[in-house]
Amino acid sequence: MIRIAVLADIHGNLPALEAVLEDVAAQQPDEVLVGGDLVGRGPCGKKVVQRITEKGWRGVRGNHEDYLLAFRHKRVRSHWLTAPEWTAARWMAAELDEAAARSIEGLPLTLSSRLAPELRLVHGSPRSNSEGIGPWTSRQRMETHLAAVKETVLVCGHTHRSLECRLPTGVVANVGSVGLPFNRDRRAQYALFHFDREEVEVEFRRVEYDLGLTLGDYESSGFLSHGGATARLLLMELEQAAPFLVPFIAWARARGVQPLESEVGAFQEFYDPDESFRSFSCRMRELGDASKRLQEPS
């Protein structure tokens, strides 16, 4: 029997990572892989990269590694370098040191396990580190993703929601998120894969940690005071284990306003994190139409 642990989407949440490291040590897997998004959406990116580097675990590059490197190297639209809605991204890019930046820059987009060669790891999907595989992904799309790799066990992260989909040709599994889960369970989450002859079993692990320590990092690092609306919405994500930031940006766009801290209160009145994606999208379309009508000359 070979056991592989896969952790992903740590997002600069050091206390959540430390709790998972302890649980991983107790589980004694044969290999540990890291599924990307070590940084971004959180204040302790540098230390998270240091801890993973110390462990010597191999991993892939998430879309948030790409975002922060783009800000660091100023390979973004020029107004993003000063626009207030990007203050948090600039803060997180500057928080990394040279060693951490080099380390995430060198990560591949995909890799396979050395001990269980049937396991292929990506951050988002085999096509892109910003394409999500989530509970809403159709079975047909799952089959297409699995067919895109030669291995039979496709493992991913990115959507911050754990899932396991068994197909005639193999398994697609999302390991969930260590630092910022979106499945209404705020424990730090990762997965253990048990390979036994032709069979693989997926065990989703959920580990308690002290969220107060993470909130303390938000304050003591200066992220909360410098991160504008983003830091405030990330706190809500941490506390409620649900997405707030991306819906806020979509809501601001539909209303035709800047996604700034002054708008967060109005967004909270509009938004229900338990609403289905379909219903939210529908309300956003209506909101977008209404704001367009308001802006049209009568």
Residues lying near Fe ion in the complex (CB under 5 A): 9, 37
CA atoms of 230 and 52, how far apart (whole Å): 25
Nearer Cβ to Fe ion (9/131): 9
By C-beta, is 29 or 134 nearer to Fe ion?
Answer: 134
Work out how close the CB of 296 gets to Fe ion at its nearest, in angstroms, rounded to a whole number.
38
Closest CB to Fe ion among residues 64, 255: 64
145 SS3 class? helix
The interaxial angle of helices 45-55 and 14-27, nearest 10 deg, is 20
132 with 98: CB under 8 angstroms? no
Distance of CA 215 to the CA centre of its chain: 18
Residue 37 or 131: the one with the smaller Cβ distance to Fe ion is 37
Rounded to a whole number of angstroms, the minimum distance from the CB of residue 177 to Fe ion is 6
Question: Which residue has its beta carbon closest to Fe ion?
Answer: 37
> Cβ neighbours of residue 7 under 8 Å, at least 6 residues apart?
17, 20, 24, 32, 33, 34, 35, 175, 178, 190
In the complex, least distance from residue 64 CB atom to Fe ion, rounded to whole angstroms: 6
Q: How far is the CB of 198 from Fe ion (least distance, A)?
A: 32
Residue 53 CA from chain centroid, whole number: 19
Q: Min. distance of Cβ 62 from Fe ion in angstroms?
A: 6
- Alpha-carbon distance of 14 to 25, in angstroms, equals 16
Task: Quote the DSSP letter at residue 128.
Answer: -
Least distance from Fe ion to the Cβ atom of residue 282, Å = 26
**CB-wise, 36 or 170, nearer to Fe ion?**
36
Q: Are 60 and 158 in contact (CB under 8 A)?
A: no
- Between 9 and 217, CB nearer to Fe ion: 9
Query: Can you read off the two tokens belonging to residue 246?
Result: 């991306």
